[in-house]
Structure 1
Amino acid sequence: MTTEREKMRTGKWYDCLDPELEALRSAARRAVHQHNTLPPWGRGAVAPLLHRLLGQVGEGVFLEAPFHCAYGFNISLGDNVYLNAGCAILDSGSVTIGTRSMLGPNVQIYCAQHHKDAARRAAGEEIAYPVQIGEDVWIGGGAIIMPGTTIGDAAIIGAGSVVTRDVAAGVTVVGNPARLISG
């Protein structure tokens, strides 16, 4: 029998209220709590529990506190990635952030799409779409990256933008929804 975790991982509709998934989110909350409450001199760049939880952490990664993630193990961070204070990654799908990319304060990355049918949504049905952020990307403070989007290398996302579709490499987008202004 296919588990809800396996359905989530393979891009199928799954029950986010499943006990196994809740236990995994609980483990992530513990790791995030440690990261957010340790003093900077005791936490380092990424607190120990969170570092072990994350799928991949490159050299020179730095996560400011507070930070939040849903599961953690779906997040891959390239070398020298910087996440400013207040970043939240709801990683029901895979989230890849490329080398030297920087996220401003309060950037939010979402992978889950809840069901449009109210009864199915109330029952916890959702589907996860991956988010891919290339290398050397700059995402301004308060930007929101929606499920299933890809941001190309060296792109710039303006502060407060809502990215609802893919962004090409080397361009700048701003607004809600984000639209091309240069590139």
Structure 2
Amino acid sequence: MGKIVWSVNFTLDGVVQDPTGEEGFRHGGWFGQFGGKDLDEWAKALFAEALGTEALLLGRRSYEYFVARGWASRSGEWADRLNSLPKYIVSSTLEEPKWSNSTVLKGEAVREVSKLKQERDGDMVVYGSYQLGRMLMEHDLVDELRLMVFPVVLGTGERFFGETGDKKPMRLINARTVGDSLVLLAYELVRDA
């Protein structure tokens, strides 16, 4: 059985909205405020995560984000790894994916992801994909959260966690500084707590 890992970048106050500044959010672009050692080490951490992953699980908008940034045609170790991985896109509207090794999961999302989790082994990483991630959390399909915290407070914007039907107990399994300013936190979800 596979393990679903939701991997997210967010601000200290939990904002995930418009990290690159392309969506028009007035506080957008917070990701790009960090550079040098921080982003070099961030890239190393995400590359290591990609090496330990057996598949990607993406919502349609996150899938389109990767495709629009040319990941399908990039080269280099990180791009080669992402391009070689099986990619599962949860979407009712995407017809023909353009990224190699991509499969669209068109049925009822919870059922399709549950089935995929039973059929696959190893980690399946969800990058971003907030609507998908929240739905998976609500249905207890996420096994681990990997949270890269950027040290900025925006005060407003779409937050990582939305409302849940019940509390979600977690156990810290790793915490480390990335670069000079970022923190990577890993939590496993505790079942039947």
Given the two structures, how large is their TM-score scaled by the length of structure 2? Answer: 0.25
Specify which structure has the higher proportion of helix: 2
Q: Which has the higher contact order (CA 8 A, sep 6+)?
A: 2
